Amino acid sequence: MMITRPFSRRAFLQHSTLCLAGLGAGRMLAADDSAKPLLRAGLMTDLHYADKQPAKKRFYREALGKLDEAVAHFNREKPALVIELGDFIDQADSVEKEIEWLKTMEQHYAQLSMPRHYVMGNHCVGTLTKEEFAQNTKAPGGHASFEQNGVTFLILDACFREDGTPYQRKNFSWQDANLPKSELAWLEGELAKATGPVVVMAHQRLDLDKAHAVRNAADVRALLEKSGKVLAVFQGHSHKNDYQQIAGIHYVTLVAMVEGTGAENNGYSMLEVMSDQSLRLTGFRRQTTRTLVHA
């Protein structure tokens, strides 16, 4: 189902307010439970696969089984696409070993029967370059934009130091994450071109969690807010379920798949973008389920 008319946040907000009339404050309910989604997208993040012993609560080898469970679920449910939000692998002590781990993960991820997408995480390029990551996956190697069923998806890449140098070969601190000026200009241009609702995918957080946030997150948020088209940002990195709403935009942090042992500690989700621009996130295992509409 394609959206043929320009997207209006003002009209959407008015519609959402009417739908919420009489409901308790702070409740997040879909405007129309019977509505069919414009599309469904599978989401997962922070698998950190590595052929090494567990460390604290991170069970690296179990990422393969957890990924297989998510892939099997998505192949049954058939969303339009699946996106992994970064830290697909963990860091190795050599380029050769990290590429081996990446190829192993890619073989499992490639079992999806629908298009798959990647967000660049800091661990993805702890040892590898972005080009090496892309050569061994179907990743674009950085930021990307695509449109599906009238919804524009923007994949951001904050794996840059403050001076604009891209992450690679252990040349960075994970807390020094930034969108360089060139990517900010690209983002502004893509937002201007979008004719329907926009959903943003990021690894490092763009909300108010300073410990795990992009350093120039305020600049990014200003562009998202100015466009009036962004419904939500989905992000990972801090490994926990979290949620904030800032200036009418949902910021949803997804749970990490690497944390905890056993299938019960897996976590992945199905996102539905509804025709009224409300969002339904159905979580599996440890992932929180959320139904989101702008107040």
- Specify the fold of 38-292: Purple Acid Phosphatase; chain A, domain 2 (3.60.21)
- Residues counted in the chain: 295
pTM of the shown model: 0.88
Mean pLDDT across 68-79: 98
Range in 13-22, 31-40, 181-190, 229-238 the model is least confident about: 13-22
Model confidence at 32, in pLDDT bands (50, 70, 90)? very low
Q: Under a CB-based contact definition with an 8 Å cutoff, are residues 109 and 84 in contact?
A: yes
Model confidence at 208, in pLDDT bands (50, 70, 90)? confident
Residue with tokens 């139904």: 291
Say how many C-beta atoms besides its own lie within 10 A of residue 27's C-beta: 10
- Is 8 a residue whose pLDDT tops 90? no
Tokens standing for residue 242: 């979290």
- Is 114 a residue whose pLDDT tops 60? yes
Q: Where do the domains of the chain lie?
A: 38-292
Q: How many CA atoms does the CB half-sphere of 216 hold within 13 Å?
A: 18
pLDDT at 209: 78
- Is 237 a residue whose pLDDT tops 90? yes
Q: Which one-letter DSSP state was computed for residue 123?
A: G
